[in-house]
Amino acid sequence: MSDLSQRVLSIQSHVVSGYVGNKSATFPLQLLGFEVDAINSVQFSNHTGYPAGVRGQVLDDTQLQELVDGLNANNINHYSHIINGYIGSKSFLTKLGEVVSHLKSVNPSLIYVCDPVMGDTGPGLYVPQELLPVYQDTILPLADVCLPNQFEAELLTGKKIESEEDALAVMDIIHSKGVSTVILSSTELGSDSHLVGLASHVKDGKKTVVKVLIPKFAAAFVGTGDLFTALSTAWLARTGGDLKLALEKTIGTMQAVLARTMQHAHAAAAAAGLDKPTPAMMELKLIQSKQEIENPPGGSQAEILHSK
């Protein structure tokens, strides 16, 4: 059994080329001191935004159990954290619940970080509707940290977010399922220039709510949610659960990565004589951002709205 204090099992998608899912999460987590064991829920050639589509394989629930059986048999199943990202089938998500329950029995202090990837404002739902009750009834009660976007938070709770008060109420509903930390990774409550991020933590009857303004980029990126979840996981652990500081560190790195990605993409498009960057040019520049992952730039100031 590993005696390492920070060891993550990350169950997400994988792409051969580019940065989404485990490819987006693993490098930052490793740089920030975590051993990362990755289970790839899918293995695709590239992300789904490419014009010629994807090729590859999808892991099923039986294959997930086989991998966990191997970890159990070799006594290498002791984790400090589990992260899940995109999961496309009800049977796999149900099996994930069983896996999390089992691994929490192995290590009762294990922290389960759930990114309930279901859709977004605009595109709508991009997983089968039948996954929603599994997230609501099976996954949320197991989760210690949940990081939905606004669309996903509204789905999980059945409540619309049209104001900051609505957002706080939605986070309270998710808390009521047993989730101690809720991070709304983005909401549409901001302005043309900013998104609003909100986070809430409840422990021993004490509640802390934090708000942060996130500068908008005039571009659509892929893999940013997976990166956000990985960075949030790492910084919550490294700061001892300091929600304000963890958000500031996470967003500091996010902004640096996105700015570098935009700069590179526009330069590459101009050099190729294109009006706009291709999906390949817009892949996150993670390797080039090693320094900003290890030492997040300052400038992202979060505000404590409530602490009592």
Active site residues: 226
Q: In the numeric block, which tokens belong to residue 164? A: 């900051």
Q: Are 226 and 25 in contact (CB under 8 A)?
A: yes
Amino acid at 37: D
Q: How far apart are CA 163 and CA 170, in angstroms?
A: 11
- What's the N-to-C CA distance of the chain in angstroms? 40
**β partners of residue 15:** 44
Q: How far apart are CA 111 and CA 108, in angstroms?
A: 9
Beta-carbon-side half-sphere exposure of residue 212 (alpha carbons within 13 Å):
26
Q: Are 95 and 65 in contact (CB under 8 A)?
A: yes
Beta-carbon-side half-sphere exposure of residue 175 (alpha carbons within 13 Å):
22
Q: How far apart are CA 167 and CA 150, in angstroms?
A: 8
Phi and psi at residue 215, to the nearest 5°? -55, 135
Q: Are 9 and 79 in contact (CB under 8 A)?
A: yes
Q: Are 183 and 115 in contact (CB under 8 A)?
A: no
Q: Read off the DSSP letter of residue 273.
A: T
Between CA 301 and CA 287, with CA 23 as vertex, the angle to 5 degrees is: 65
